[in-house]
Structure 1
Amino acid sequence: MSVPVFAALLITLDTALAQVPLSWDTRPVCQASSPLLYFNLAETERAAATGSIKHTGKLFTQLFDTACPNYFFQKYRTIDGTCNNWRNQGAARTQARRLLPPAYDDVNQKPRQTAVSGKPLPSARAVSIAAHPPTPKELGLTNMIMQWGQFIDHDVTAFPVATELDSTIKCCGSNSSIPQLCKDENCFPILLPANDGDFRGTCMEFVRSVAARDPQGNILNPRQQINSVTSFIDGSQIYGSSEELLKKLRRPNSSRLKTKKTKLGLFLPEATDEAEGCILRENSNDYCFLAGDSRVNEHPALASMHTLWVREHNRIARKLAKLRPQDSTEEIFQLTRKIVGALLQKITYNDWLPIIIGRVATLAELVSKTGRSTPNLALDPSITNSFSTATFRFGHSMVPAEMLIGERTVYLRDLFNRPAEVLDNLDDVLAGLAGVSRIHGLVGYRSRLVEDVDKEVAEDLTKFLFQPPNAPRGSGFDLVSLNIQRGRDHGIPPYTKFREICNYPPLTGFNDKALGPHGSKLATIYESVDDIDLFTGLLYEPHIQGGIVGATLNCLIVHQFTYLKTGDRFFFDTSEKECGFTDDQLENIRETTLASIMCENLEMPQLPVNVFRLVSKYNLLTDCQQLKGALNLKLFQ
């Protein structure tokens, strides 16, 4: 790891520590005490019953002066992340954290739309066309590396948009034109270039993220956005982040989660409310899924991962109920949820992150192979605004234009919002993500490889995102444009400002080697390097040695995952054993892999030991019978 990256990490850590009141109690977190807790929670006029804020009233930020009951004796997390730390940072429905002051055009509210010259920034769609062409190249990894990133992203980030409070908001007029009289403060439509041959009209719909408000209903100055799920890696996408949603997902008086039985097995429960965009076949038994995160229906690969983990929860809960007959169903449920959360963290930190950032994961002490970590409750574990809007969207460049499902290669554009592929082909979807076929083992389809992290993004995302079947061309969205516009909506400063806090030298121009061999391409759309949007700049950087991301992206990933680990007193390897696991349990969790979990819950004959990497002499294709049983639940008896 380079000195600048470590320096940047120390800078941000020191900044956080400098903001901590000296009067804070720093005793170990599981010792008895009665601290007074001050924390900001975004509340609603009615209960947040969907895991986000759909169908709720006006959102505001309220200051509480409350002590968490039994704070130092908690064995289990709360569902909404409260009481994890003394200020309840990282809890659901709290404000995002910022690494830099926002770059709003009017300082407080107006989206970033002005270049350093004073002229308008190029349209987000114009940047997408010029800077992110659909000519991706493959990376020697399976698509599971991309899919795990999305699954974990939905565990830690969900920033609601204003249409979740008012579904009638429309920012574009008829024929995708810009309405002259549109004065809705939540509208920030994407302007389409005159020569855009892929979308109709001059306007692409875009609604601003919900703004946090004070108790009097006034939007905060400067404007701030709200994360509706917990920032912690705790299975929010499985269990939700509210008691109301968990009640919908959990079987009554049971330690298990709800499922729906079909002729092909047990699947996610059915959404009783309308699932946005969900496409069902005529005269079929298709249905839309309900999960801890409302985005579950977006893509069959995502929904398949949700299904896998609901099955794993229920498998663990059934076995623990037999091993611990004296325990209540609530105790079994909470212990199961704790184990599932630990497995998500282990796979993310020990198996996934080292591929993304290379040996930096070990140098930054993110990998947990031995020993235990000590929580530092001075750190704010909240998701940073830039992480949600740009940093952790790097995976969009990895999405392939095609997906392997059994013996079929299917275009991505033909899979959006289609639960049928999960109901009919769950095992084949997950096998394809792991780069294998259940029928023939290894297969030679190119679609088994994930795309490289670079400026190229598949046209299925930039031209056909969520385009309805049989709809005219141009009826969908452009994901890159949405990403760039969301960053501007949130007042995210330009890319060069983040290089600065990561302690990297200023860019000398568009030909600076920090922007890679194609940096000059950005000069065709931006006037100055200081105008480059964060999402775009991060994807132009050459990879760091041993990783698959660039230097600034690496820095920002290290920062966020350090805070998510060290600021979480329930992290799976915590030194506070009352909040964590015994030595034997911890070692067993470290030995459990995603491959073993897939083998336990699917009809899978063989899998590579590491499903993120291609089969090789170092990553053998192994019979599932050998991979099963990695998690020894007798240790939790």
Structure 2
Amino acid sequence: MTDTTPSSASAGTGTPADPGSALPHIHAQPDGPSPSRPSNASRSAQPEPYGPPGVLERLGSAAFARINRRREWHELPTPLGLLNLRFLRDDLRRENLHDTYCAGGERPRRAPASLPPFRTYDGSAYDPHDEDMGRAGTRLDRNAPLHLAFPESDDELMSPSPREVSRRLLARRSFVPAPTLNLLAAAWIQFENHGWANHGDNEQAEPFTVPLAEDDDWAGECPMRVNRTRPDTVAHTAPEAPPTYENTLTHWWDGSQVYGSSEERCRSLRTGELGHLVVADGRLPADPRPGMSCLDATGMNSDYWAGLSLLHTLFAKEHNAICDHLHSHYPTWGDERLFHTARLVNCALMAKIHTVEWTPGILDTPVLHRAMNANWYGVLPHWVRRKYGRVGRGEMLSGILGSPTDHHAAPFSMTEEFVSAYRLHPLVPDELTLRDHRSGRRGETIGFDDMQGATTRSVIDAHGMSDLFYSFGTANPGALVLHNHPDSLRDLTRLTGEHVDLGTVDILRDRERGIPRYNAYRQMLRKRPVTSFEELTGGHPTDTPLLEELYEGRLDRVDTLVGNLVEPRPAGFGFSDSLFRIFILMASRRLKSDRFFTTDYRPEIYTPEGLEWIDRNGMTRVLLRHHPELAPALDGVTNVFAPWRNL
């Protein structure tokens, strides 16, 4: 069907102009490697690098650096804390974005033939000077300076044994809940992370060999074998460059977990009519691949479980609702235009939920509530933007949305340190008590293995989405602390038959991919290094000697994951301040580098109705649109990621 535009449409009236000939330029890219895929070598640095700080920036940065020697940002009064975060974020933007493509000199770049008015299937053509920036199959970059990103030798990678770190420091002794959150918060972050980065299938040849202690009760093969990360397919041109790895997904905040990272995958999920995704009887279809019918057919279903199924299905339904809303206003639009416009709106709504609901939920302090709202809305009251539009071009007054695009110190991409920051497996409980969404009555308790992998769709069939949503909403995830890594993930059999301890894998992956160990990690993020194990643990009477023994008294060997789990944290924080610094850099960068959140966040692209949909909706309204039966459970709940009402 040919797309046509209502006769009233024009850029001048605020109605979206017909993209017309731009639509054929939305590039297709089949799944997997292809001779037609541009090589990594074609990507380049940003044409105008982030400039040096001005006088005020230098003075502010120096002043807060001095203050932070005695008092951290979270110990300051709220207005000063917000200002401290502003200068810290600018410092991080300037000094902690490193392009792995440019270790041997600048690469040639290729400008796209056109800038499509919609998100492309494979993430290409977002930048006017660099077609491949953020594209699926391009490299993950670094927050750490490249000289800190080299992995150690294989022998050093085993020191101390990652399995012993898993057994003695990570293994869950008893479940420690995060009482201010519900289990949807754990499912949400995996749902979002599945749209940001994936290293692809691991290398089968020459796996790591992890020795086991004599008293180890590991049920798998001995020694434990862990496959290496799939290496970058493009050879380095500079011997001083550290190893690099490809992201098999698009780097952008574009909902690729729902829509896929290729045209082939995306079209397989669509009905071909009215822009809709395939949803039948309230369910996503089963994955048609051999042996995968236990999973949903969706954009990304690796490491899949019931929590992901709930959210993937919910936002596929939301996409279709947006399509129907747009169709009611633009009845002559065809399938392609409805699909792409609805995708823009759905992705922006997910980004808004993450920014102003999930993040303040897990970082529950007044400073962070204001800071994340300022990222999205700016510091002016919300009604000002609604009535008058943006005030100025900067981020502070009216937020990032609609401000100029800026990649800062490097071309946009996800980073290895950002991937590492999302090793949040303690959030997962080992079991879930099912509850009736009408009465609140408790039912059976099921284990995590009963709702992941091969049992994912069957648990939805058995219990229904309404009861599962309510069960998730009233259950706590685990706290992000030592000794709270779920047993089910430390003894996990994947669909492939691979038997793994994800605690061991988490530690080994950071070491393999050159994530600096904890004290070096702190220093690169402008935190002073800890000087003793007592300081590291806050003087914990049992963890202090345990860490000192395991790391043989060497603070420089403490793993970043361990340090982040044990580090004393600000009041209300669900994770460490060190980890938070990666987030304050990358959370705003995902918005600021994306033209669909900056220069192209406008009615001509989204439609006025699409922008209104984003502005008026949040996670509660999304849930109630598709599951109105949950209204009693959500009555009075101010954040959907906090515990729901007990009925």
TM range (shorter): 0.7 to 0.9
| Further displaced range: 345-354 or 402-411 | 402-411
| Displacement of 1:232 | 2.0
Matched, 1:79 2:79: no
- Residues 534-580 of structure 1, C-alpha deviation per residue, up to 9 Å, x if partnerless? 11211112231332211101111111112112112212x76852676
**2: CA distance between counterparts of 1:579 and 1:377?**
21
**2:418·2:586 contact (CA, 8 Å) conserved in 1?**
yes
User: 2:587 is aligned with what amino acid?
Assistant: F
**2:163·2:210 contact (CA, 8 Å) conserved in 1?**
yes
2:53 paired residue number: none
**2: CA distance between counterparts of 1:288 and 1:467?**
13
User: 1:568 is aligned with what amino acid?
Assistant: D
Please show how residues 164-313 of structure 1 align to structure 2 within 5 Å. 169=204, 184-185=205-206, 187-214=207-234, 221-252=241-272, 254-259=274-279, 261=280, 265-275=281-291, 287-295=294-302, 298-313=304-319
Query: CA separation of 1:462/1:576 partners in 2, compared to 1, >3 Å: closer, same or farther?
Result: closer
User: 1:589 is aligned with what amino acid?
Assistant: I
Query: CA separation of 1:510/1:108 partners in 2, compared to 1, >3 Å: closer, same or farther?
Result: closer
Matched, 1:512 2:541: no
2:184 paired residue number: 144
2:111 paired residue number: 67
Please show how residues 50-61 of structure 1 align to structure 2 within 5 Å. none
Query: CA separation of 1:10/1:207 partners in 2, compared to 1, >3 Å: closer, same or farther?
Result: same
Matched, 1:551 2:577: yes
- Residues 340-368 of structure 1, C-alpha deviation per residue, up to 9 Å, x if partnerless? 10110110001011122332353364343
Matched, 1:428 2:434: no
Matched, 1:363 2:376: no
Identify the match of residue 9 of structure 1 among 48, 65, 89. Answer: 89
| TM-score, normalised relative to structure 2 | 0.73
Q: Secondary structure at the match of 1:267?
A: coil
1:59 paired residue number: none
| Displacement of 1:64 | 6.6
| TM-score, normalised relative to structure 1 | 0.74
**2: CA distance between counterparts of 1:242 and 1:337?**
14
**1:93·1:227 contact (CA, 8 Å) conserved in 2?**
yes
Query: CA separation of 1:223/1:468 partners in 2, compared to 1, >3 Å: closer, same or farther?
Result: closer
User: 1:401 is aligned with what amino acid?
Assistant: D
Q: Secondary structure at the match of 1:393?
A: coil
**1:192·1:201 contact (CA, 8 Å) conserved in 2?**
no
Please show how residues 111-130 of structure 1 align to structure 2 within 5 Å. 113-114=155-156, 121-130=159-168
**1: CA distance between counterparts of 2:101 and 2:297?**
29
- Residues 123-147 of structure 1, C-alpha deviation per residue, up to 9 Å, x if partnerless? 1111011111312311222111111
2:421 paired residue number: 391
- Superposition RMSD in Å: 3.3
2:448 paired residue number: 412
**1:146·1:399 contact (CA, 8 Å) conserved in 2?**
yes
Which stretches in structure 1 are left out of the alignment for 5+ residues? 21-38, 42-61, 164-168, 170-183, 279-285, 436-447, 622-637
- Select the structure that is richer in helix: 2
- Residues 315-351 of structure 1, C-alpha deviation per residue, up to 9 Å, x if partnerless? 2223322331111211111111011101101100010
Matched, 1:349 2:355: yes
Q: Secondary structure at the match of 2:493?
A: coil
**2:345·2:606 contact (CA, 8 Å) conserved in 1?**
no
Query: CA separation of 1:122/1:382 partners in 2, compared to 1, >3 Å: closer, same or farther?
Result: same
User: 2:581 is aligned with what amino acid?
Assistant: C
| Displacement of 1:82 | 1.5
**1: CA distance between counterparts of 2:118 and 2:600?**
15
**2: CA distance between counterparts of 1:254 and 1:588?**
18
**2: CA distance between counterparts of 1:496 and 1:361?**
28
| Displacement of 1:162 | 3.2
Identify the match of residue 194 of structure 2 among 154, 159, 163. Answer: 154
1:499 paired residue number: 522
- Residues 162-203 of structure 1, C-alpha deviation per residue, up to 9 Å, x if partnerless? 35xxxxx3xxxxxxxxxxxxxx34x22333322112434423
Q: Secondary structure at the match of 1:81?
A: coil
Q: Secondary structure at the match of 1:205?
A: strand
Matched, 1:490 2:513: yes
**2: CA distance between counterparts of 1:215 and 1:549?**
37
| Displacement of 1:63 | 6.8
**1:40·1:64 contact (CA, 8 Å) conserved in 2?**
no
Which stretches in structure 2 are left out of the alignment for 5+ residues? 1-72, 75-80, 383-397, 436-442
Query: CA separation of 1:331/1:229 partners in 2, compared to 1, >3 Å: closer, same or farther?
Result: same
- Residues 252-302 of structure 1, C-alpha deviation per residue, up to 9 Å, x if partnerless? 35511123x4xxx23222322235xx5xxxxxxx74322100316x21111
Identify the match of residue 593 of structure 1 among 618, 637, 644. Answer: 618
**1:9·1:558 contact (CA, 8 Å) conserved in 2?**
yes
| Displacement of 1:524 | 2.4
Query: CA separation of 1:585/1:245 partners in 2, compared to 1, >3 Å: closer, same or farther?
Result: closer
Q: Secondary structure at the match of 1:12?
A: helix
1:456 paired residue number: 483
Identify the match of residue 92 of structure 1 among 119, 126, 136. Answer: 136
Query: CA separation of 1:110/1:553 partners in 2, compared to 1, >3 Å: closer, same or farther?
Result: closer
Query: CA separation of 1:580/1:433 partners in 2, compared to 1, >3 Å: closer, same or farther?
Result: farther
User: 1:399 is aligned with what amino acid?
Assistant: V
**1:246·1:292 contact (CA, 8 Å) conserved in 2?**
yes
Query: CA separation of 1:381/1:568 partners in 2, compared to 1, >3 Å: closer, same or farther?
Result: same
Identity %: 23
User: 2:591 is aligned with what amino acid?
Assistant: K
2:65 paired residue number: none
1:377 paired residue number: 406
2:23 paired residue number: none
Q: Secondary structure at the match of 1:272?
A: coil
**2: CA distance between counterparts of 1:14 and 1:588?**
35
| Further displaced range: 426-435 or 7-16 | 7-16
**2:427·2:480 contact (CA, 8 Å) conserved in 1?**
yes
**2: CA distance between counterparts of 1:290 and 1:221?**
39
**2: CA distance between counterparts of 1:450 and 1:457?**
11
User: 2:301 is aligned with what amino acid?
Assistant: S
Query: CA separation of 1:320/1:575 partners in 2, compared to 1, >3 Å: closer, same or farther?
Result: closer
User: 1:12 is aligned with what amino acid?
Assistant: L
**1: CA distance between counterparts of 2:414 and 2:550?**
30
- Residues 382-429 of structure 1, C-alpha deviation per residue, up to 9 Å, x if partnerless? 1110221x21112x1111121233322211133221121123322222
**2: CA distance between counterparts of 1:510 and 1:535?**
15
**2: CA distance between counterparts of 1:112 and 1:579?**
54
| Displacement of 1:230 | 1.7
**1: CA distance between counterparts of 2:208 and 2:230?**
12
